[in-house]
Copies of this chain bind each other. A is one copy, B any other.
């Protein structure tokens, strides 16, 4: 499903990237060399935006931004990425009210949209939807989240942010905090981080542990990790604190929820024990798991993460369209 695809009238061979005409479906497509490549292009995109605002690299190209479930953040980020490269966007945000209500299949919708557009970004509630789309499409598909499946561009922007803010990945101690059982984000990030010499700390309530299959991946690559319930225990030693929300709905025993809910809140008191050079990350949206009081703390990286998301998506769009 990731064979080379038709990307239209691009000048042949003027770049040496492995992504031209490819789909971006899973973090498992990325090894260290490919991550280096995307991060280098991402840095160039940052310079480009900060210096010029926009470029015309993808002028004349059209992105179909196909969202079967709403996600203002992700859809806006991809739109901005395409527009800042001089491309155009067809936003399709209410597809549940549309062709799909007439019962159209995902393959037919994809084949229709690729007859208009040069690349398709797909957000879909069902696991495996992106792979199905990629199987039928001749144009590149970028997975923007398929249910409990993957959301690879989120994991890439997370990794890029760590690298940008801390200047390295090897040697870091990285804590993931909160709902590690259902958090698609932390699973994907973990699978990218194993390409580097990092140490993992998993901090979660008893009922929301990192799944065994993810732990197996960590073990399989010889990485060390340890697990704890208490963020206070580890706050002083970590380089990255990646926070996710502990949702009430996950608990059948609400007393249990009430007992643990405040153990995973990041506030000024907690941050006073953190290292000076470390970062707090969050995929957003947050509710109350990170206090507004630390938003101006330079260690709060979550709004930089947002902006990095645009740079990484610019890099990916340019790469799959043969302009990276």
Are A70 and B98 neighbours in the complex by a CB distance under 8 Å?
A: yes
Are A8 and B53 neighbours in the complex by a CB distance under 8 Å?
A: yes
With an 8 A cutoff between CB atoms, is A272 at the interface? no
Chain A residues 123-148 with CB under 8 Å of chain B are: none
Are B98 and A71 neighbours in the complex by a CB distance under 8 Å?
A: yes
Given contacts A72-B98, A99-B285, A108-B284, 11 further A-B contacts (CB under 8 A): A54-B62, A70-B101, A72-B100, A76-B90, A104-B286, A107-B292, A108-B285, A112-B284, A115-B303, A115-B306, A116-B310
Smallest distance from the beta carbon of A196 to chain B beta carbons, Å? 26
Residues of B within 8 A of A95 (CB): 72
This chain's copy number in the assembly:
3
Chain A residues 94-115 with CB under 8 Å of chain B are: 94-95, 97-104, 107-109, 111-113, 115
With an 8 A cutoff between CB atoms, is A172 at the interface? no
Chain A's interface size range is 35 or more
Are B115 and A9 neighbours in the complex by a CB distance under 8 Å?
A: no
Q: Given that A90-B79, A303-B115 are known contacts, is A72 also in contact with B99, CB under 8 Å in the complex? A: yes
Chain A residues 276-292 with CB under 8 Å of chain B are: 284-287, 292
With an 8 A cutoff between CB atoms, is A1 at the interface? no
Residues of B within 8 A of A115 (CB): 303, 306-307, 309-310
Q: Given that A72-B98, A72-B99, A99-B73 are known contacts, is A53 also in contact with B116, CB under 8 Å in the complex? A: no
A9 in complex: contacting residue of B53, B70, B94, B98, CB < 8 Å:
B53
Residues of B within 8 A of A285 (CB): 99, 102-104, 108
Residues of B within 8 A of A62 (CB): 54, 80, 83-84
With an 8 A cutoff between CB atoms, is A239 at the interface? no
Smallest distance from the beta carbon of A98 to chain B beta carbons, Å? 4
Are A9 and B50 neighbours in the complex by a CB distance under 8 Å?
A: yes
- 25 CB < 8 A contacts A-B: A9-B50, A9-B52, A9-B53, A52-B60, A53-B60, A60-B84, A70-B98, A72-B95, A72-B98, A72-B112, A76-B113, A76-B116, A83-B90, A93-B94, A103-B287, A104-B284, A104-B286, A112-B284, A112-B303, A112-B306, A115-B306, A115-B307, A115-B309, A115-B310, A116-B307
